[in-house]
Structure 1
Amino acid sequence: MGKYQSVIDYISYFKNVTEEEACYWGGGDKRDDGIFTISYPVYDKQLTSFIEEVTKTDLLDSNYISTLEKYGLPMTMSDEIMRVIHTSNEELTKAILTAYIRQERFNEGLWATAVKDKVFYKLLIRLQQLEDKL
């Protein structure tokens, strides 16, 4: 059993889950006083469990912005980042995973996009490949 097995165990979840299954939007309702509430993502329990599991490991890179810059990648989630996942080393894989997890705070719904685009799935596959090399 590898160092990150508890996280890698989510591969089948991310392979099969749809964006609609992983997230719905709450709020956005008109209150009795005529004011509208702001909508917000409500994530599936398994997705939030995955995020919690990642935070229990050393997969989060506290310097992920610098790490992405080191590899010439933008801090914004982009196609460029998606293209390098399958060849990323452990340092870059951690930085990309961290960026997706932390940026949800500034870009609500990013995790749903990551599910739709299979980003978490691809990162976990890559992490498994890296562990298998050890």
Structure 2
Amino acid sequence: MEQEDIAYRQQIVNEYKPDVERLVRYLPWLESKTGTSVQQTYSASGIAEHSVAFPVYDSTVMSFVKEAQRTHLMDRNYMYVYSRYRIRTVQDEIRAIERASIKEMDVLKAILSKYVMGGMTKGRMWSEAVESGIFLYVVKKMKANLDFWDRPEPTR
């Protein structure tokens, strides 16, 4: 039983490590931007008078989002994970991130997916995920889980 458990964890590490490593390079930037806004509202040329103003994002946010979209970490069914774990608020998300072990990588994927994919239709989601630290916490936890379990098996 223990061998199967170790094999399962190693399979998860092998599956997610390349994708997580692509996002880890954004950690210093995410740490520096937590609590600050990474979007501005475009209002030049009198656009506010005749049209709806739209957000303009920091280029690093856009790079992070595009990189995340190219990984296998996106889960289009993230709402089912939210329902199963009764995640409803940002505080619930943060608690779920803190509790997630290597076996709950689906929870971390779901939270990342909600903000990355949701930002495609709701302009504030990417900025909120950076400001509240959700992107930072998810990527850090994924990295910590993978680093902890990605070690050689002890020889007996």
The TM-score range, normalised by the shorter chain, is 0.7 to 0.9
CA RMSD of aligned residues (A): 2.1
CA shift digits 1:91-123 (9 cap, x unpaired): 100000000112223432121111111111111
After superposition, the C-alpha distances for 1:2-54 in whole angstroms (9 at most, x for unaligned) are 3221111111110002533x2111138745xx943212211111111111111
Correspondence 1:126 to 2:141: yes
Is 2:37 aligned against 1:25? no
- Moved beyond 3 Å, runs of 4+: 27-31
For residue 78 of structure 1, report the CA deviation from its aligned partner: 2.7
Partners of 1:29 and 1:35 in 2: CA distance: 9
Contact 2:27/2:139 (8 A) holds in 1:
yes
Q: For the Cα contact (< 8 Å) 1:64–1:99, is it kept in 2?
A: yes
By relative contact order (CA 8 Å, sep 6+), the higher-ranking structure is: 2
Kept after mapping to 1: 8 A contact 2:69/2:116: no
Greater share of helix: 2
| TM-score w.r.t. length of structure 1 | 0.83
Whether 2:116 is the aligned partner of 1:97: answer no
Structure 1: runs of 5 or more not aligned: none
Matched residue, 2:60:
46
CA-CA distance at 1:66 after TM superposition:
0.9
> Any stretches of 5+ residues in structure 2 without a counterpart?
1-16, 151-156
